[in-house]
Amino acid sequence: MLKKKTFRQKKKFQKGTHRYNLHKNAKATLGSGNLRTAVKLPENEDPNEWLSIAIVDFTNKLNLIYGSIQHECTKEKCPIMNAGPKYEYLWSDGKKKPVQLPAPQYIENLLSWVDKQLSDESLFPSDPTVPFPKNFKTKIVAPIFKRLFRIFGHVYYSHFDTVVEMGAEAHLNTLFKHFYYFQSEFDLIEQRELEPMADLIKKLCG
């Protein structure tokens, strides 16, 4: 039986660090209501720092959204991981052949995979004097964003009614718009990966 471990502890930034202050400034900018402005790299900041902060923030918020509806996302109700009838996602850890998994197991694997990378000091160094890896954006950040996007796809297509019943529709839509504008600003997700959500993107994001 699949264990419900998906709702995990929130990642935090250590107070007093530059990354913590940058995160606070990002939240303040987001509070202005202009999401397109909020995603832009602050002047004189390291792009890799900005990307790493965004991954932690989006993972935390998406985890809360999914955690709130995961009682409806069971292997019986969601035997495959998909975003509508035309788009199915197979799980791969990069070592084995991609396999079909029930949506909750796929998402559990995905969030554990993200957690493992965020905890890896060689990929996401907490020491500001340690440089980020080469090709950080393309090799590490972009694949994480691509997979987090799939959770949005599954939630919208399979569990949006539950989100509405909970009164969390506006919260989900705002988070998705923020996520979409951010990935668009930094060109993180290929167009073909965005296709399952094309209609929603056009409606919400213009």
Segment 122-137, tens digit of pLDDT? 999 988 889 999 999 9
Instruction: List, in order, residues 6 or more apart from 105 with CB less than 8 Å away.
Output: 2, 75, 91
Cα torsion 77, 169, 87, 2: sign: negative
pLDDT at site 19: 53
Segment 93-129, tens digit of pLDDT? 877 799 999 999 999 999 999 999 999 999 999 888 8
**Maximum Cα–Cα distance across the chain:** 50
Tell me the residue type at 196. Answer: P
The two three-digit tokens of residue 15, written as one number:
């107070």
CA distance 142 to 146: 6
pLDDT at site 32: 46
pLDDT at site 5: 46
| Under-70 pLDDT residues of the chain | 1-33
The two three-digit tokens of residue 156, written as one number:
């919208």
Q: CA nearest 203: which of 173, 179, 178?
A: 173
CA distance 115 to 91: 16
CA dist list (Å): 148 to 46, 130, 142, 155: 23, 26, 10, 11
pLDDT at site 34: 82
Taking the CA of residue 171 as centre, how many other CA atoms within 13 Å lie in the half-sphere pointing to its CB? 14
pLDDT at site 142: 98
Domains and CATH numbers, the chain: 18-205 (1.20.140.30)
